[in-house]
Structure 1
Amino acid sequence: MKAVVKTAKGPGNVAYTDFPDPRRPGPGELLVEVKATGVCGTDLHILEDTFHNHPPVVLGHEFSGVVLETGEGVTMFRPGDRVTAEAPARLCGKCMYCRTGNYNHCGSRSGMGWGENGSFAKYTVIEEQMAHIVPDGVSFKAGALMEPMACVAHAIEITGLKGDDTVVVSGPGPNGLLMTQLAKAEGATVIVTGTEADAGRLEIARQLGADYTINVQAEDAAARIRELTGGYGADAVFECAGAQSSIDACFEYVRRMGRYTQMAMFGNRRMAVDMDKLVVKEIRMIGSQSQRWTSWDKTVKLLAAGKVRLDPLATHEFGLSEWEKAFEVFEKKQGLKVVMYPEE
């Protein structure tokens, strides 16, 4: 089969090439025909070799597809089921983190697209325990975005968002727009901030339920947020832009004793944090890593209830052989999510 493969260590070394079809599913595994697969920043980091990887390996971990065959002992799925999967492909199942349901921190975790063959191919093999049903009425294109939605659901979960919170989402990219919808589903009042270049994305944020949007280059965002919160500031801020200016602004937006959650990653770039402000305001700062079962459960239920829209976020579509163009569009932020489709 044809696949997008990291062929060797080092920058570059990615090719659309022939790769062996997956073996038949082993015990507890599913053989899946990939129908749609999304591009993630992690894929670009693997291309640049700034994220760990074990070549030769098929890239990709955001996908949806159809079960073709089940291995011995599989009871929860059958051929024909529409599925997606969690990014942690293999777990030890024995460490403290696995045993407490926090397996996103398993030290032996091996993920799709860097440690195990991923979804940038016609077929992939996944573990039953990592698989989830794509709800009826959710397209394959939208199903390919369930994994990043689960990451956002995890961030909301560990932040402890409440229905009466006022939330600032800094950065109206794909994760920011997912965060907007999930925070609204929790009942929060949502303010989305962005730059002049984000004008189109801020409009999408409004269409997806944001209560307020702020162009930080056109008005004093911190003053506006204080005005909207009785002078206090936001109860919680989610940094989704991955920029120093956004980090600094979030420390201004959040109220004393408020919560700051870091969603964006920085590709090994070191960022500065105003530790005095962290101390003086008694801000609770937390990072959010990947996903776990509870966030997936919320993702599936919200989609099944029609409370989150994923299709509008998939703005660009390519065949898998066009992966270089797809990566370029994603890297230049010319749209939101980029989805690719395996070719015959």
Structure 2
Amino acid sequence: MRHAPKSIAAVAVRNNETRIQELALPEISADDGLLRVEMVGMCGTDVGNYNHITRPTILGHHVVGHVEKIGEHASQWWGVKEGDRVAMEEYLPCGTCEHCREGLFRSCKSTDSRRGGMRYGNTSIDIKPGLWGGFSQYMYLHPNAVVHKMPPHVPAAEAVFTLPLANGFEWMCLEARVGIGKTVVVLGPGQQGMACVLAAKAAGAQVIVVGRQSSVHRLALCKQLGADDIVNTTIEDPIERITQITGGKMADVVVDVTSGGPELITQSFAMVKSRGLVVLAAYKYAKVTEWDSDLVLAKSLTVKGLRGHSYGAVEMAIQCISSGRFPISILQSHNFGLLDVDRALRTAAGAGEPNPLLVSVTPWQ
């Protein structure tokens, strides 16, 4: 009797606990497929989800891999065939609502987990076929999955930065419309901050990155990625320094990608020029009740809350990575196998190996 083929997966079974399990590979119909996972990047969402496990889940949604099997209709719909290399979006949208028709899958109700929606890396294995996350040798390609072709020459360590970089292009280029002659201040040199640096530099803007002494290594990496200036708030007054750098003109755009408190929002209003734009792109996980609304009025500022990416922004990110223009590989700090997913998540959370930035998992090593 032949046994059904299976996939080895690292399953988060409860808060901060992972177990290796085998899950059966699904039968593939005309409308779906199966992905052989090559590498998966980690982000703060994975860390946050690992702290709030309610049902067993395969985490990981920054996924790049090769199409192992695909149905005839799915192949035509996605424009890919078996063997093609692809980058996955985390969203499983309905595909028909007004948001989906604009490529804004993050706004589709079907992707909102708070309303029972599904996303890769955030869906229980109890929902068949269970292979809903990247920390597995194989991942199920749902008929509503969103895939992008990834050129074969791109190193896996760079390919898994696609979704963070897509956020940077969404926020900087598509929403803030930065470009040549514009000055951008990025608060926070983490993954999303560096994505904003890359996107803004790709668009031709002047970029200033602000961070603390504890992030001095990341600030140095931002310089390697092309940032024009860095400001260390432990030893410098950020507002005075940005006033000096810009000759008193201040920034056209300030993007806050930190989890800090209201003082950073107030600083953003002081750093931006009159009629400038402040982008709030990181959850504070607390109600911010104190900020200077009078300064927003006095300077006629625009304040935008932004999250996630569009289909077009992912394509822009892939083009940027494929060009080889930026040394994106320097961002990968750690790579682990499936047996060490718990250690990988703890490292990404700052409680494991030292100096984490882009932590990844290779399921086959």
Q: CA deviation at 1:96?
A: 2.5
2:10 pairs with 1:7: no
Deviation per residue, 1:109-148 (Å, 9 max, x gap): 1211113711110000225761112223211122112111
CA deviation vs aligned residue, 1:69-101 (integer Å, no higher than 9, x gap): 11121131112211111110x212232222333
Q: Which runs of 5+ in 2 are unaligned?
A: 1-6, 112-117, 125-131
Q: Deviation per CA, 1:130-174, whole angstroms, max 9, x where unpaired?
A: 111222321112211211111221112112223211000111112
| Residue 125 (structure 1) aligned with residue 146 (structure 2) | no
TM-score by length of 2: 0.86
**Residue type at the aligned position of 2:347:** V
Secondary structure at the counterpart of residue 58 of structure 1: coil
Aligned counterpart in structure 1 of residue 329 of structure 2, from 275, 296, 311 = 311
Q: Secondary structure at the match of 1:307?
A: coil
Work out the CA distance in 1 between the residues paired with 2:164 and 2:17.
Answer: 23
Q: Which runs of 5+ in 1 are unaligned?
A: none
Residue type of the alignment partner of 2:104: N
Offset of residue 271 of structure 1? 2.8
**Equivalent residues in 2 for 1:193-212 (5 A)?**
193-212=210-229
Over the aligned positions, Cα root-mean-square deviation in angstroms equals 2.0
Secondary structure at the aligned position of 1:255 is classed as strand
Give CA deviations for 1:172-205 in whole Å, capped at 9, x if unaligned. Answer: 1121112111111100000111111121111111
In the alignment, is residue 21 of structure 1 matched against residue 24 of structure 2? yes
- Partner Cα separation in structure 2 for residue 54 and residue 99 of structure 1: 32
Letter in 1 for 2:276: G
- SS of match in other structure, 2:219: helix
1:33–1:230 Cα change, 3 Å: same
Q: Which residue in the other structure is 2:121 paired with? A: 113
Relative to structure 1, the CA distance from residue 2 to residue 161 in structure 2 (aligned partners, 3 Å threshold; closer, same or farther) is same
Give, in angstroms, the shift of residue 58 of structure 1.
1.4
1:13 shift after superposition: 6.4
Q: Kindly state the Cα deviation for residue 54 of structure 1 after the two structures are TM-superposed.
A: 7.1
Indicate if the aligned counterparts of 1:303 and 1:309 stay in contact, CA closer than 8 A: no
Deviations 1:302-330 (A, max 9, x none): 12222333211111111121122111211
- Structure-2 residue corresponding to 1:340: 361
- 2: distance between equivalents of 1:254 and 1:27? 53
Measured in 1, the distance between the counterparts of 2:153 and 2:281 equals 29
Matches within 5 A, 1:69-218: 69-73=69-73, 74-75=75-76, 76-88=79-91, 90-109=92-111, 110-115=118-123, 117-127=132-142, 130-156=146-172, 157-218=174-235
Structure 2 CA distance for aligned equivalents of residues 178 and 35 of structure 1: 22
- Which stretch of the first structure deviates more once superposed, 100-109 or 126-135? 126-135
Moved more, 191-200 or 108-117: 108-117
Q: What is the distance in 1 between the residues matched to 2:28 and 2:178? A: 40
User: How far is the alpha carbon of 1:276 from its aligned partner?
Assistant: 2.3
Deviates more, 1:127-136 or 1:106-115: 127-136
In structure 2, C-alpha distance between the alignment counterparts of 1:206 and 1:235, rounded to whole Å: 20
Number of equivalent positions: 336
Question: TM-score, normalized by length of structure 1?
Answer: 0.91
Aligned: 1:33 with 2:36: yes
Question: 1-side partners of 2:251 and 2:42: how far apart?
Answer: 32
Distance 2:29 2:278 in 1: 43
* Equivalent pair of 2:165/2:198 in contact (CA under 8 Å): no
Q: Percent identity?
A: 28
Matched-pair contact (CA < 8 Å) for 1:2–1:16? no
SS in 1 for 2:20: strand
In structure 2, C-alpha distance between the alignment counterparts of 1:166 and 1:176, rounded to whole Å: 15
Q: Whole-Å Cα distance in 2 between the matches of residues 81 and 134 of structure 1?
A: 8
Q: In the TM superposition, what whole-angstrom CA distance separates every residue of 1:209-246 from its partner, at most 9, and x where no partner exists?
A: 11111111212221221222231210001112221243
CA distance in 2, matches of 1:66, 1:178: 25
